[in-house]
Amino acid sequence: MNIVLTINGIRRELTIDPGETLLHLLRRVGYKGVKKGCETGDCGACAVLLDDRAVNSCLVLAAKADGHEIVTIEGLAQWGKEDEIYPIGQAWDDELHPIQRAFLDAGAVQCGYCTPGMMISAADLLAHNPNPTEREIKEAIAGNLCRCTGYVKQIEAISKAAEIIRGLHE
Amino acid sequence: MSKGDFYVVGKSLPKVDGISLVTGKPRFVADIELPGMLYAKILTSPHPHARIVGIDTSKAEKLPGVASVLTHDNTPHTRYTTAGQGYPEPSPYDTMMFDSKVRFVGDRVAAVAAENEQVADEALRLIRVDYAPIPEIISPDDAIAAGAPVIHDERDARGIHDARHNIAASVDIATGDVGAGFSESDVVVETTCETQYAQHVPLEPHVCLSWLDEDGRLVIRTSTQVPFHVRRIVAHVLNLPVGKIRVIKPRIGGAFGTKQEIVLEDLAGLFTLRTGRPVLLELTRKEEFVSSRTRHPMRVRVKLGAKKNGTLHAIEMEALSNTGAYGTHGLTVLSNVGSKTLPLYNKADNVHFFGKAVYTNLPVAGAYRGYGAPQGYFPLETAMDELAERLGIDPLVLRRRNHIQTGETSPIFERLGEGREGVAQTIKSCALDRCIEAGAERIGWTDKRGKRHMEGKTAYGIGMSIHMQGSGIPYIDMGAATIKMNEDGSFNLLLGATDLGTGSDTILAQIAAEVLGVPLSKMIVYSSDTDRTPFDVGAYASSTTYVSGQAVEQAAKKIRGQIISVASAMLGEDMEGLILADEHVIGEGKSVSLAEVCRHALYESDQFQPAATASYFPRETAPPFMASFAEVAVDTETGAVGVVRYVAAVDCGTAINPRLAEGQVEGAVVNGIGYALTEEMLLSKHGRVQNPSLFDYKIPCALDIPPIDVILVESHEPTGPMGAKSIAEIGINAPIPTIANAVYDAVGIRLSKTPFTPERVLQAIRKAK
């Protein structure tokens, strides 16, 4: 069957198998930043934004994405810049989303396999709540398992990214 | 050199591969696709112990889209070990690609390569296997009981300690006379602790992709910690010359020991040889839980004898390790239960360590961060706490009185190594006293210890423990690095060392950049590839910073010598007066840029390629040390244990990149908290894993972590690169005994079996009443 969806701002017409998951489709058409960790919705490595909310793409049938907008890690920086997700006059002056920059600077990336999904969850959080408490950050990424970092620096990075985004508002 | 003198080292610079990772670039094994790629799947045993009487693959072979089917009947019958260790491996050769006998639920039976995953799965369902079940052994005690079935009855296995009695490995070493030691002691305590089946859970399961290159050589792109061991072992299993195989390690999605095993590469490689086509073989999360590797479950007994003044006089440690169906890492993990713990308390003159690693028809244990040390520290540090109480001495004071210090040695270093005799050595840096002090202050030890208090039904307490590990394996490990200069003043750093997410590419580049006086951005790092980078044993045993780091430092020094020699001719000045700084060679009043130096070398006069390779072979290890503290809350109605706060003070020598060093400890501590509180592979009475999913096997998520303070207590290790030691593993040793001791402080019960689930804690509380 055929579906039409927008991936990272680009309209795509794609042929899919009826039983195909969004994770499988996205990786098949080249979005390899979407990671496969369990295929049962438990690890969050495959998280993408579906109409601006984070979902585990392994639990979404590709057919369900018909007519919707998908943002993967490959499109994260651009999503924030162009779509007025954050009510800011000017976007960040960087090729990276503030969350990506903060993850880099904080040392929040070790192996980097959970990182795309974790940052997608963080992007969802900060788009809806630019001033989260530590508890809210932890809740937002509770579905993104990481075995390398112990989460300490990831929580710090998301908090720092929130600060940067709030700074842009002012 | 003091810390302030460093130019690149000691700074928390972003990782060299960081931007590509945060932007999701296709850097992992399965992120590339090759034309004509086949997908492979493995059929595994539903029986814990059985002979395969017959396999009928005819229907599977006829299924359209099936390219190749492998079984015992058409694959090499070579015995090997899946353990990626130095050669000859200290693990028994008790494994075969496909054996005529299965030894655990999840053991390999057959495999299929097909045009897509659905066809491969369908083909597996069409394979008919006749099994003749054999009585299974599902506990280590049953394994060594009289009349137990023999798990490894094959005649061609090598290196099994006592196959007829299911003993894969055995260790027995002593110094002094423990019998006399205990009778001369004023106080004796004894503790037995049991640890569970636990798994590594890297977010990326095992995966590899193989193909034939233009010259018909076998290329294996794999998620491994040990590319050079993969090449050697696959060559052995498939009977190929090493030179016919190239192993590439791209970015790795975490490993923690489980990828120190050759779990898939032989299979993908053989499919590629049979079909001539690229083959992708990746484990699902369920397969990862059932068929890959686990930590060795153990029962370890520790007996301590001490004088009234608190000086340890005798230590006895006995370990029974369950290595599962195969003996991979069985001997060395068992050895490390003693060798990574007992030297810490070197004041005891009488020490006896002995134990066995036994086969069972259960999942296969292997290498896992900590490598036996966590299993040893649990009873050791619990017993130290008990001893402190019996003697009426503060646990901090007791440990300070007994732990090893700079300038001291322990006879254990020489008696017990990695599955063989060890290497005598003297500790050259130990900041454990400062770790204890800094950690105690941060957690508020003096105010809180021994003052258990209740808030409603919740009891609070604090506990601590101390630890050491190693930095590589002396006289066994080796790491090498190559540095090559380019005419813009940049350098290719080619590393055999295997960055599996730790950040070793970055810290090794920092070491090279420091020596060469260039910013990190001038280092172009590539790891690891058996065709293109020099040899390294791989990323295990906390070896990379200490062992590979010294190879990098020495290679950088060699190329620095070449640069100075060229610059000397260019500047007309003696080499002695020249220094490298800020991308220049600076002489008296004159300087020349590194770009100019390289252009001169490549194009202008007496042309040559400035390049150097250096190897490092460690003759000693430099243990990192750690003092660990936790405050816990115990719900006395439900038995739930929560960690309220965690403090880890670690002596890492020089922190090459402090943030990355902290990250190693934070990750290990949280992994250890999961090991202590929630993680357990549940097995049926027939040895089937009952919770093979991340929903049912609980690793900590962000909501589960307490505030964690990592304090890097820097020292200077004179034998380490820039004064550094390795700290990738040590953090995981601590949470179990630290939390157990804190629970005792809170509710007065000694926990002796992990994980400390509410059920176990509540039972212990009720039993004590």
Q: What is the pLDDT of residues B103-123, one digit of tens each?
A: 999 999 999 999 999 999 999
CB-based contact (8 Å) between A139 and chain B?
yes
The answer to whether B624 and B688 have CB atoms below 8 angstroms apart is: no
pLDDT at A1: 94
* Whole-angstrom distance, CA of residue B526 vs CA of residue B505: 8
Tell me the chain A residues in contact with residue B252 when contact means C-beta distances shorter than 8 Å. Answer: 111
pLDDT recorded at residue A84 = 64
* pLDDT over threshold 60, residue A87: no
User: Quick check: helix, strand or coil at residue B700?
Assistant: coil
pLDDT for res A80: 72
Quote the ipTM score: 0.96
Does the pLDDT of residue A93 top 90, yes or no?
A: no
Beta strands in B620-720 (DSSP E): 625-635, 641-651, 708-713
Say if A49 is an interface residue toward chain B (CB within 8 Å).
Answer: no
Beta strands in chain A (DSSP E): 2-7, 10-15, 47-50, 53-56, 69-71
Picking from B762, B744, B740, B745, the residue whose alpha carbon sits closest to that of residue B636 is B762
What is the model's pLDDT at position B218? 98
Do residues B15 and B503 touch, judged by C-beta distance below 8 A?
Answer: yes
Residues in A 61-90 with any Cβ partner in B closer than 8 A:
72-74, 77
* Nearest chain B residue (CA) to A108: B663
CB within 8 Å: A35 and B253: yes
Q: Could you check whether the bond before residue B700 is cis, i.e. omega within 30 degrees of 0?
A: no
Contacts across the A-B interface (CB distance below 8 Å)? 172
Residues of chain B below pLDDT 70: 1-4
CB atoms within 10 A of CB B36: 13
Give yes or no for residue A2 having a pLDDT over 50: yes
B124 closest CA partner among B44, B217, B47, B209: B44
Question: How do residues B275-320 score in pLDDT, each as one tens digit?
Answer: 999 999 999 999 999 999 999 999 999 999 999 999 999 999 999 9
User: Are the Cβ atoms of A96 and B19 closer than 8 angstroms?
Assistant: yes
Residue B1 confidence (pLDDT): 45
DSSP B149: P
**How much is the pLDDT for B4?**
59
